Amino acid sequence: MKILTLNCGSSSLKYSFFDAAEERTLARGIVERITIGGSFITHRVPAPEDERPAGTSGGAVGVKARAGLTTRRMYECPTHKEAIDLVLATLTKGDGAVIADLAEISAVAHRVVHGGEALTGSVMVDDAVVDALRERISLAPLHNPPNIAGVEAARALLPDVPQVAVFDTAFHYTMPDYAYVYPLPYEWYCDLGLRRYGFHGTSHLYVSRRAAALLGREPADVNLITLHIGNGASACAVRGGVSVDTSMGLTPLEGLVMGTRSGDIDPAISFQVTKDLPLAPQEVYTILNRRSGVLGLTGKYADRRDVLAHIKPDATSADDDAEEPGSAYRCKLALEVECYRLKKYVGAYAAALGRVDALVFTAGVGENSPEMRAWTLRGLEGLGIIVDEEKNADAPRGEEVDVAAEASATRVFVIPTDEERVFIEDTVALLDGTYAPPDRFVYSFQKPDYTPRLD
């Protein structure tokens, strides 16, 4: 059984092609600049796992080596349909081909950000599911439209291939009502569906199950705080293997400071700026999503690597360049604000859980920035969270590692996320009739003998 996974953003399409029988990724890649011109695909065929040394990330463009084959091709994609057509052509033709015919594709798994209250687990896609997704566009206006576009394009191009939708929100449907109901007129929840839904569910699911395995315990026996920190970021409190609280809410805007999103702010700010500035409500919403967070504070950078590169440890607001976009002071301030917010969520979830067996960092920033991890956890020794600074600084990229000090009551794991593994296993289970919602489904990656893929 060979599964194609698709993750459609507004101007990008990430994909992978997995052979479930052989347990290996045949290809993966990304199409960028969809709808905006200058589109291109970067396509990678990994080397067989028994030939690739640990830590290898890929060969040079167009060069076949032990690490595999990576190719790049320019191809205009005015819509997601052309982008998916390009992926299918790349999988079957040219140097990057891994199958001879599209008939070898057993199913397509789509990442969908928001399922609302009606779609609480992975489902086979039909017209009714697509209609339900359209009805919920207002809950995720930046994410669901491209997700739907990908689903519709794949159904048109592969009409005889089963399509599956896997929802970011599904893992969080175990939250108790007191965690997901907002203190607003209750009719707004009943009539409009205004409640906390949560996102990054497949990532929180994967790393929480891996953390339980690393602890040598069953998911039902552990309490965890998982921190998915990338351009988007969210925290999750996991008790007994299920989500009981999470930082994102009705939309992915609430919660932690993110690359371009504000996270938690006083709701009155939106009203105040429309009163004091010539901005329409939609413009304010766009600014909160696309021009706030780390980018808003630095005025220039959203990528934490850029921010860290421009920090001076002793920078203060008295510096001459403090008000300049990208100044050392503003970069330092941005990360201090972000890490302080992270620290507060860790403390809040520690209180909610009562006992925390492990804290998990994942996603691009969480996995690869020892500085962010150190800044976030410094001063939490009173909660039994003690980081070994040397282990943290030297943590190898792409590997599961415990960076807690020996004396730490709580383990601190860095676990590379593998959301696609969730997509694949949910899809295989739906096809063979063994699927159950996340709180009742046993995944291969939670078993003691599971080996994470290096590709």
- Domain CATH code at residue 363: 3.30.420.40
pLDDT confidence of residue 65: 33
57: pLDDT confidence band, cut at 50, 70 and 90? very low
Q: CA end-to-end span of the chain, whole Å?
A: 19
Same domain? For 369 and 354 the reply is yes
Say what angle helices 144-157 and 127-135 make with each other, to 10 degrees.
160
Tell me: the pLDDT tens digits for 181-195?
999 999 999 998 899
Same domain? For 352 and 436 the reply is no
Per-residue pLDDT, averaged over 190-218, amounts to: 95
Largest CA distance in the chain: 65
Same domain? For 25 and 120 the reply is yes
Residue whose token pair is 């203190």: 183
Alpha helices, H only, 159-298 = 177-180, 186-192, 201-215, 268-276, 281-290, 293-298
455: pLDDT confidence band, cut at 50, 70 and 90? low
The answer as to whether 198 is a domain residue is: no
Strand 163-167 versus strand 242-246 pairing type: unpaired
Q: How far is CA 108 from the centre of its chain?
A: 19
Q: What is the pTM of this model?
A: 0.91
Number of domains in the chain: 2
Rg of the chain (C-alpha set):
22
Same domain? For 120 and 263 the reply is no
The answer as to whether 123 is a domain residue is: yes
d(CA 29, CA 72): 10
The answer as to whether 202 is a domain residue is: no
* Percentage of the chain modeled with pLDDT above 70: 95
Same domain? For 14 and 94 the reply is yes
Same domain? For 245 and 318 the reply is yes
Tell me: the pLDDT tens digits for 264-289?
999 999 999 999 998 999 999 999 99
pLDDT at 9 over 90: no
CA 195 vs CA 121, 170, 179, 198, 256: distances in Å: 18, 14, 9, 9, 17
The answer as to whether 178 is a domain residue is: no
The answer as to whether 177 is a domain residue is: no
Residue type, 167: F
Check 131, 168, 177, 320 and give the catalytic one: 168
pLDDT confidence of residue 320: 63
Same domain? For 225 and 313 the reply is yes
The answer as to whether 64 is a domain residue is: yes
Same domain? For 373 and 425 the reply is no
Same domain? For 251 and 398 the reply is yes
pLDDT at 95 over 50: yes
Query: Sign (positive/negative) of CA torsion 399, 337, 258, 382?
Result: positive
- 3-state secondary structure at position 27: strand
* Percentage of the chain modeled with pLDDT above 90: 75
Query: To 5 degrees, how large is the angle CA 228–CA 136–CA 130?
Result: 100
Same domain? For 69 and 111 the reply is yes
pLDDT confidence of residue 454: 57
Same domain? For 13 and 140 the reply is yes
Same domain? For 328 and 430 the reply is no
Catalytic site includes residue 168:
yes
* Domain range enclosing 257: 219-417
